[in-house]
Amino acid sequence: MKIFLDTASVEDIKIANDIIPLDGVTTNPTLILKEGKDYVKTLKEITKIVNGPISAETISLDAEGMVKEGKEFAKIHKNIVIKVPMTPEGMKACRIMTKSGIRINTTLIFSANQALLAAKAGTYLASPFLGRLDDIGEKGTELIKEMRQIYDNYGFKSQILAASIRSTDHVKEVAMMGADIATMPFKVYEQLFKHKLTDEGIKQFLDDWAKLQKDLKKK
């Protein structure tokens, strides 16, 4: 499974990418607002760090506006992927841009039927939002299972990008269910490395090493 960072923080992207190269990045207006920086400038910086799909989100509600914005974003770098919402206008925009060679990430997918439609429109990435489904009392990861089955049944090439990930358990579950990609906040990415037994094990080895040095000195 590919791992993307879901952030517009260039600093966090640099830190994560130095550990294990990231497979991609997703951004959205909320994430860029958090950083308070220019969107295009930030996207340019990210393309210099990460060699993989970098999603930039359109804000128009009509297909024409989305295509116009998408074409501008796509000029930034060949790795830019355009986010459009899962709406009829979004799917029109998806078809138009896909035809002209621009890759699309259909965002805000909350049902298997929406995912089916996004695949039929030729989306490159399909983004189900797990955490937000959990927030309204549904089981977000179920959607990944359903999408995997539908995409495999019909040989759709769209990649399932598990989004709105809130925990390391989400990451594990979507990996087991066969999501192609998981995009996650930096906080969750950091936690993936951690286990209390790893920390305890390191401490014990260091303590024993120090004891050995002491013993050797005595001899």
Positions annotated as catalytic residues are 83
In 25-166, which ranges are continuous DSSP H helix?
29-35, 39-49, 63-74, 88-99, 112-120, 130-135, 140-154
Q: Which of 52, 65, 131, 178 binds ligand E4P (CB under 6 A)?
A: 131
- If binding is defined by CB under 6 A, does position 158 make contact with ligand E4P? no
- If binding is defined by CB under 6 A, does position 6 make contact with ligand E4P? yes
Residue 177's SS3 state is: helix
- If binding is defined by CB under 6 A, does position 148 make contact with ligand E4P? no
Sole window of 10-18, 46-54, 126-134, 192-200 interacting with ligand E4P (rule: CB under 6 A):
126-134
Binders of ligand E4P among residues 161 to 200 (CB under 6 A) are: 163-164, 183
- If binding is defined by CB under 6 A, does position 42 make contact with ligand E4P? no
CB of 164 to ligand E4P, least distance (A): 3
Q: Cβ neighbours of residue 25 under 8 Å, at least 6 residues apart?
A: 4, 5, 6, 7, 13, 46, 50, 52, 53, 54, 55, 183
Sole window of 45-53, 65-73, 127-135, 189-197 interacting with ligand E4P (rule: CB under 6 A):
127-135
Q: Cβ neighbours of residue 46 under 8 Å, at least 6 residues apart?
A: 8, 10, 13, 25, 27, 54
CB atoms within 10 A of CB 216: 8
CB of 161 to ligand E4P, least distance (A): 7
How many residues in the shown chain lie near ligand E4P by CB under 6 A? 11
Sole window of 62-70, 110-118, 129-137, 150-158 interacting with ligand E4P (rule: CB under 6 A):
129-137
CA distances from residue 144 to 91, 168, 173 in whole angstroms, order as listed: 20, 16, 9
- If binding is defined by CB under 6 A, does position 79 make contact with ligand E4P? no
